[in-house]
Chain A
Amino acid sequence: MFVTGVVLFLSQAYKAYESVFFRTKIVLLVLAAANALAFEYTSRPSVAQWDTAAVPPLPARFAGWASIVLWAGIIAAGRTMAYTF
């Protein structure tokens, strides 16, 4: 997705630059990456301790919800972008 996305972006770079939805999408992508990195360094190392727990610790649950919301937002911004092109 990263590679194909970059190529698609290169083919429409000016239109993308001007699009508020494209900018939103990039912000959300950065946030999704930050969320994944934060999970990797805070919750992931201790996963063995709560792997079978009924409810995972709050930071892990937050990372899960944030991931769903951010990626859904990325799809929404990306798709909406095409309507304004």
Chain B
Amino acid sequence: MPHALFPFFQWADASWIGTTVRNSRYWFPILELFHLFALTILLGTTLLLSLRLLGVLMPKQPIPELAHELAPWMRWSIAVVLVSGLCMFFSGALRYYTNISFAIKMVFLFAALVFHFAYFRRIVQRDESSVSPAAVKLAGIGALVLWFGVGLAGRSIGFVG
């Protein structure tokens, strides 16, 4: 992690949330379960919508309709993943500071969030005929690579540190 961020990691580690989660036997596993449930929903909906963008499944289903149907699931799963993830991060901030997988996960996470809100969401709201095929493909591949990158790097945090 960049050295400039060290004070933030120190603050997070010593914060009320950090100490509460760290000093309890149950908080971390409970947060992790919510993190996992939301994660399965986020990756599941992302997979469906991305494969539709890539033309792999549901070819007759209009993209904006599918996106509209899945939107609340994506929105809420992102919210739950972020809140539960932040609480877990606070509880071990100083350990994660030196964990290479955590650093990689954060890079993927920020890229995925920017990509999702600045690009993906706009593409899926528009009629397929009004967007270039390359832009639609990019949305599908980008979302898959970035979100599954977050998931893979996240899983390896536990194996590295």
Q: Chain A residues in contact with chain B, CB under 8 A?
A: 72, 75-76, 79-80, 83
Cβ-defined contact, B29 with A83, below 8 A: yes
Instruction: State the CA gap A75–B37 with chains docked (Å).
Output: 8
**Neighbouring A residues of B29 by C-beta, 8 Å:** 79-80, 83
For the residues of A in contact with B, the DSSP-based class is helix
Task: Provide a sorted-by-A list of 7 A–B residue pairs whose CB atoms are within 8 angstroms.
Answer: A72-B37, A75-B37, A76-B33, A79-B32, A79-B33, A80-B33, A83-B29
- Give complex CA distance A60, B40 in Å: 23
Which chain B residues numbered 16 to 41 have a C-beta less than 8 Å away from chain A?
29, 32-33, 36-37, 40
Contact A75 B32 (CB under 8 A): no
A72 to B37, CA, bound (A): 7
**Smallest beta-carbon distance A3→chain B, Å:** 18
CB distance from A64 to the nearest CB of B (A): 15
**Chain A residue at minimal CB-CB distance from B33:** A76
Q: What residues on B are CB-neighbors of A75 within 8 Å?
A: 33, 36-37, 40
Chain B residues whose C-beta falls within 8 Å of the C-beta of A83 in the assembled complex: 29
Residues of A within 8 A of B33 (CB): 75-76, 79-80
10 additional contacts (CB under 8 A) given A75-B36, A80-B33, A83-B29? A72-B37, A75-B33, A75-B37, A75-B40, A76-B33, A79-B29, A79-B32, A79-B33, A79-B36, A80-B29
Which residues of the partner chain B approach A72 to less than 8 Å between Cβ atoms? 37
Chain B residue contacts of A79, Cβ below 8 A: 29, 32-33, 36
